[in-house]
Structure 1
Amino acid sequence: MSVKQSFKRLLASSLAVGLLSSQIATASYAAPQQETHKKKHHPRTFNLSLMHTNDTHAHLDNVAKRITAIKEVRAEKPDALLLDAGDVFSGTLYFNEFKGQADLEFMNLAGYDLMTFGNHEFDLGSSPEGHQALANFVKKADFPFVSSNVDFSEDANMKELTNKRIPIKAKDSNIYPAVIKRVNHERVGFIGLTTEETADIASPENVKFNNYIESAQKAVKSLERRGVNKIVAITHLGYDDNPQYDNDLELAKHVDGIDVIVGGHSHTTLAEPVIVDKDENDKQKDASTVIVQAYQYGDFLGTLDVQFNKKGQVIGQTGKLIEVKTKTDDPEATELLKKYSSKIEELKNTPTGGEAVNALENPRSSTDGPSVRSNETELGNLITDGMLDKAKELNPNVEIALQNGGGIRAPIDAGPITYGDVLTTLPFGNTLATMKLTGAEIKTALEHSVSQSPKESGGFLHVSGMKFTYDSTKAVGSRVVSMEVKNPDGSYTTIDTAKEYVIATNAFTAKGGDGFTVFKTAYEQGRVTDLGLSDWENLRDYVAKLKTVDPKVEGRIVDVAKK
């Protein structure tokens, strides 16, 4: 037994008495089968308990509560494994300042067992240091990494950390194509997959991403040759993300032998596990696959218990998400966080390099007065201009940007704009996404945007790269009068309802948030690409680029009934 395993069992034993009352949170789970004999035995069934996180994105303000949730589950189920499905990097000032090391200290404290890489782990590849920060993250991790489809062989920082063979026992601070762990005398195999889309939405540079289905099949076969018949895929593909690239649902259909998928990337809230029992031809699979995912930012700790028969087939499962905010702060983690959070408070006062000529108001009105949720505003124009500017850097075909008014939370005072100002205005960390829409679909979206006018709606869309007029006195669904897209020379052309346009918006809206069913349909059809750049970072970069920040209301959105 390793030192880490001994520590986990000792910690679990010491906590068990004091945490009996907390067992209510996970009472629906069957406890893992315990070893009752010293002699090796082969039970007819086997229970595997997992805890899982994904897309934490350097959100550490709630980490002390997350540690408590982990300790409570482990006190009840000492053999539960703790897994992370990637995207620890990028998203808050904790990452900007500490490059993953702050997150890693808490992951080591929590006793993570395995992690795979997300696309954001490759954000720094184009920097002068390349993937040095990622290499440092791996080197200092008290757990191994599993990555079946990422080729690090050409990267100077990462190649020495990778292993081509599956070891008898995986070492911490190493990357493997697959990992085998022993749990109660049974061998459980793990593979790891990262979306191939990383090449387009991050900066992997010399790192390559192989086909996820082919890589998964190869890794599964390697494990099966070793007699492993219980296999977990830790993935950063997205639950139902763009199938033109990859996603968990397609993985479950196409690859036999995967029993559980612990996913990330799409920030999906799977309150209960999803069972896939049909293959790519819609025929019944020999064995079903269980898929789980735990939203984002460490807001939830996912838990899953899976029961296998002696053939390694799933015969039962139960799982849920534990809401971290309901927990108390772990004292040790709370004290540890202080050395990082104190520095972050200082950083919030750091200037972005942009200076607002005038105060950028964020008005609200519950009737028909000026409101960020019912009217064009200077701040709304600034934010959408920043979105469009950033999206064009990655995709020159983007013509329009849209931002829901409900996502703009605070004004910005005149004078130097700080990191804190930007974070307060856009606090949700929504990522930037692009979407292909017809002109007719854009009109449908704009109709929904102004459906509550002149009253407020969180789905009221601020726009860049276009302008439109509407009549709030007309029937809902028939209010939009005109729509025009901005040309490179500054002129405008009427939007063609039959033509396809590439727009940028935040991922919340792109997935149908605020009731945008037209966007949800596009997302489900694979017409959305998440670029993975946080909204506050986009605004920060844009005001720094402008230096003098002086947006105006330009008549981008006009209610002709008020003329």
Structure 2
Amino acid sequence: MKKRKMYSATALAATTAVLVGVTGVSAEQTLFTDVPANHPYGEPITALAALGVVNGFGDGTFKPDAAVTRGQAAKMIAGAFQLNNPAVENLQFTDVAKTSPYYSAILALVSLGVITGYEDQTFRPAENLTHGHIKVIIERVSAAYPVDAAALFTLANVAFDEKKNITRGELASILTEALKLVEENSKYFNLSVMHVNDTHGRVDVFPKLMTAVKEQRAKTPDALLLHAGDAFSGTLYFNEFEGKADLPFLNAMNFDAMVFGNHEFDLGSSPEGHKALADFVKAAKFPFISANTDFSKDSLFTGLFTDLISSEPENGKIYSGMIKEINGEKVGIFGLTTSETKDISSPGSVVFEDYIEEANKAVKAFEDKGVNKIIALTHIGYDDNVAYDNDQMLAKSVPGIDIIVGGHTHTELKEPVVVNTNTVGEKKDATLIVQAYQYSDYLGTLNVAFDENGVVVNHKGQLIKVGELAEDPEGVKLLAPYKAKVDATEKAEIGVTLTQELANPRSSETSPVSVRNSETALGNIITDGMLAKAKKSTDKKVVMALQNGGGIRAAINEGPITTGEVITVLPFGNTLALADVTGAELKATFEHAVKDAPKESGGFLHISGAKFEYDSTKNAGSRVVSLKYFDEATNSYVDIQDNQTYTIATNAFTAKGGDGFADLKAAYAAGRVTDLGLSDWENLKEQFISLKEIPYELQGRIVDVAATK
């Protein structure tokens, strides 16, 4: 790809010179008869006109109060930012001829993805633009520099009104302020980062992710592309190919580095151990980094792993960290993997060391090499259990880290979080934390300006919604053979046959029974599988399992069960989580679950290992009559006690407070939730296979005593 500089340094310098009066155009002079010296936008109009960025009309006027058209705006913006060298040769708009005075400007802006046309292949250059339109355009055109488009309106003395047409004078003032900021930022080193995390085998999304990456690279060709871990586990693509379906895409997108997530170690207890992970590393056309992960005792990684920071990292190798040179500046990147991996995955002989200690070592190693711009690529979680590790504590505890690109908690940080105090509340240089949710739903973007000391002085970050983009044609071709295999597997029978339907009822005129207000056989089977898997996955005493009714999405028809049917029942890719809660919190959780009963609620809870009675005639918040769990020691159901702490199993969505479960949300915030990372549909499939006979009948686990009165 041919690199192009979006902004001309010469133009920026000239613009600044004009604005301070060096060009000889004084504030008292007027170039246009309708723009007097005291006009609120007189100075920026005069400055841009002297540069040739804006022009007046044949009658000597500028018409500063006239609305800006799409064509005029394109010419002003392209001229101000010196945008040229377009990536496409011709415009396809039926209403913009090559002879149009706006043709080259529109071509440049379309090439950069700054503006688009309409579905009928028109551009409509004579249409007016609003304040809202210009805000979006400035955000896109300034992608190479951290420019706050909203702040520009204030600086330009323009009262922002999203739907109001923008005038020629207002746009001139906004462009002038934008150029001032760009010129100021040009004194700094500007770094761009793209990032994803917790992609979890969503290979079918990668063609759209490829489009997102290509569009961003068109704007910032030198941007880093980082993966914050957990490519493994979660879909049939992983079950079938164990990471081999991901690699063609990750390699094609030219990732710069990846850190190991806990799920990368899920196959450690298999007969082949971590062979799939070692093969994944070897075939990658990028290096892996993790400063606190020791592979030395696993022979599968011999020759792949070195506990060093490399200035010349090799593809398919593992390092503590690496140094990348970008536009003449050195950037240090090191990795961290959660120590929780030993409890929620199968790392075997792979050891995870203290993340704070190893982070301090990595920062010192970079600084000893003269590197003062440092990125931590982490899979420890934004707000995960502090007893293990998390990004906020890392930012407060380790000086010298400028950016933390994170994963593990699937957190949607719509803009960077700034941490500028240490663990005792003292001021420190800013550390930016970013995370892009999950499953390649978003491509995270971050643009940062550093001063000569490597201190963050400005930044801008956002999440690009991948699902709204078109699929990259190359990606579609890469996906085809893997998709064919997965489609066939979805249709494959799991070896279990139903003699009657496992219903997923909803309320109707003929029946009030719903998966969202009543016990169901399917809900019982799901939660039985959750409880069984949870008990196998922890040494804790797990007393019950909970599944929100809103998460059960389909019935399973009579006849052979297919893998695809199982996935359709639980399609959201949820994982199994454990939560430590008090009896009082657990009762409050069940109060919330039945607050709308007998009306339907997505938060209605199906249960295993417990019995629950409530009275729907009572006021919400006072409906729980009885809540008991089955105590294996006494072979009987025992009342939940308010002041005791219990471990329960549920899906990660519910464990984090989804469906309004405030007490579970508080437990998650307090670090009392552990995501085991086990796929819900896979657990259900295993449960079906384990059953000697299907329990079609209800078991009285959930009873509304109002119905028995």
Q: Provide the TM-score with structure 2 as the length reference.
A: 0.75
How many correspondences in the alignment?
547
Aligned-residue Cα RMSD (Å) equals 1.9
Question: Is 1:429 aligned to residue 576 of structure 2?
Answer: no
Say yes or no: does 1:548 pair with 2:693: yes
Find the counterpart in structure 1 of residue 582 from structure 2: 438
* Structure 2 equivalent of residue 204 of structure 1: 347
Q: Aligned to 1:494, which of 636, 639, 653?
A: 639
* Counterpart for residue 33 of structure 2: none
Partner of 2:519: 376
| Bigger Cα displacement from structure 2, 427-436 vs 416-425 | 416-425
| Alignment partner of 1:298 is 2:298 | no
Q: Which structure 2 residues correspond to residues 269-418 of structure 1 after superposition, within 5 A?
A: 269-285=412-428, 287-365=429-507, 369-396=512-539, 397-418=541-562
Deviation at 1:366, TM superposition (A): 6.2
State the SS of the aligned residue for 1:467.
strand
Task: Work out whether residues 22 and 72 of structure 1, in 8 Å CA contact, stay in contact via their aligned partners in 2.
Answer: no
2:212 corresponds to: 69
Distance 1:291 1:167 in 2: 24
Post-superposition Cα deviations, 1:151-193, rounded to whole Å, max 9, x if no partner, equal 0001111132012332221111111111000111000000100
Measure how far apart 1:364 and its partner are. 1.0
Tell me: CA distance 1:100–1:411, structure 2 relative to 1, closer, same or farther (3 Å).
same
Is 1:469–2:561 an aligned residue pair? no
Per-residue deviation, 1:8:
7.8
Matching residue within 653, 657, 671 for 1:508:
653
Distance 1:122 1:275 in 2: 31
Deviation of the 1:353 alpha carbon: 3.1
2:275 to 128, 132, 153: 132
What secondary structure sits across from 1:102 in the alignment?
Answer: coil
- Answer with 16-25 or 512-521: which moved more: 16-25
Compared CA separation, residues 548 and 160, structure 1 to 2 (3 A): farther
Separation of aligned partners in 1, 2:499 and 2:542: 29
User: Larger relative contact order (C-alpha < 8 A, sep ≥ 6)?
Assistant: 1
Partner of 1:118: 261
Q: 1:67 to 1:165 in 2, by over 3 A?
A: same
Supply the AA of the counterpart residue of 1:355: T
Equivalent residue number for residue 43 of structure 2: none
Give the ranges of 4+ consecutive aligned residues of structure 1 lying more than 6 Å apart after TM superposition: none
Equivalent in the alignment of 1:244: 387
Give the distance between the partners of 2:490 and 2:305, measured in 1 at CA.
37
Unaligned residue ranges in structure 2 (runs of 5+):
7-84, 89-107, 116-135, 147-184
Question: 1:45 and 1:51 mapped to 2: Cα distance?
Answer: 20
Measured in 2, the distance between the counterparts of 1:166 and 1:20 equals 36
Contact 1:354 1:549 in 2 (8 A): no
Match for 1:176: what amino acid? Y
DSSP 3-state at the match of 2:269: coil
Q: Contact 1:453/1:472 (CA < 8 Å) preserved in 2? A: yes
1:559 Cα deviation from its structure 2 partner: 0.6
Contact 1:29 1:305 in 2 (8 A): no
- Greater CA deviation, 481-490 or 21-30? 21-30
Q: Secondary structure at the match of 1:333?
A: helix
Structure 1 residue 194 displacement after superposition: 0.3
| Partner AA of 2:585 in structure 1 | E
1 CA distance for matches of 2:647 and 2:389?
A: 21
Give % identity.
Answer: 55
Contact 2:143 2:220 in 1 (8 A): no
* Matching residue's letter, 2:427: Q
Measure the CA separation in 2 of the matches of 1:535 and 1:371: 21
Query: Which whole-Å deviations, capped at 9, do the CAs of 1:452-483 have from their partners, x for residues lacking one?
Result: 11111111010111111111111010011111
Which consecutive residues of structure 1, in runs of 5 or more, have no partner in the other structure? 1-6, 34-41
**Which is further off, 372-381 or 534-543?**
534-543
Give the CA deviation at 1:399.
1.0
- Measure, in 2, the Cα distance between the counterparts of 1:186 and 1:76: 19
Indicate the SS of the match to 2:299.
coil
Cross-structure match for 1:560: 705
| Partner in structure 2 of residue 91 of structure 1 | 234
* Further displaced range: 495-504 or 187-196: 495-504
Q: CA deviation at 1:28?
A: 7.1
Separation (CA, whole Å) in 2 of partners of 1:206 and 1:428: 33
Contact 1:32 / 1:77 at 8 angstroms: preserved in 2? no
**Any conservation in 2 of the 1:32–1:79 contact (CA below 8 Å)?**
no
Task: List per-residue Cα deviations over 1:43-72 (Å, max 9, x = no partner).
Answer: 741111000000000012221111101100
From the superposition, tell whether residues 198 and 244 of structure 1 become closer, same or farther in structure 2 (CA, over 3 Å): same
Determine the C-alpha separation between the residues in 2 that align with 1:553 and 1:527.
32
Amino acid at match of 2:339: E
Do the aligned residues in 1 keep the contact of 2:145 with 2:448 (CA within 8 Å)?
no
1:357 to partner: Cα distance: 3.6
Partner of 2:403: 260
Counterpart-to-counterpart distance in 2, 1:326 and 1:294: 16
> TM-score scaled to structure 1, two decimals?
0.94
488-497 vs 432-441, greater mean Cα deviation: 488-497
Is 1:458 matched with 2:550? no
| Alpha-carbon distance between aligned partners in 2 of 1:359 and 1:412, rounded to the nearest angstrom | 6
CA distance in 2 between counterparts of 1:29 and 1:234 reads 25
Deviates more, 1:473-482 or 1:162-171: 162-171
Q: Secondary structure at the match of 2:415?
A: coil
Distance 1:223 1:529 in 2: 33
Q: Does the 8 Å contact 2:497/2:561 carry over to 1?
A: yes
Which stretch shifts more, 161-170 or 100-109? 161-170
Q: CA deviation at 1:395?
A: 1.8
1:553 Cα deviation from its structure 2 partner = 1.1
Query: 2:113 touches 2:215 (CA, 8 Å); kept in 1?
Result: no
Structure 1 residue aligned with 2:144: 31
The Cα shift of 1:355 comes to: 3.0
As a proportion of its length, which structure holds more strand? 1
Contact 1:52/1:301 (8 A) holds in 2: yes
Which of 84, 109, 113 pairs up with 1:21? 113
Deviation at 1:394, TM superposition (A): 1.2
> Is 1:45 equivalent to 2:168 in the alignment?
no
The 1:391–1:15 alpha-carbon spacing in structure 2 relative to 1, beyond 3 Å, is: farther
In structure 2, the partner of 1:534 is 679
Partner SS, residue 224 of structure 1: helix
- Rg bigger for which structure? 2
CA contact (8 A) 1:189 1:231 kept: yes
TM-superposed deviation, 1:415: 2.6
Secondary structure class of the residue paired with 1:157: helix
Cα distance in 2 for partners of 1:357, 1:391 equals 28
Match of 2:362 in 1: 219
* Pair 1:28–1:19, CA change in 2 (3 A): closer
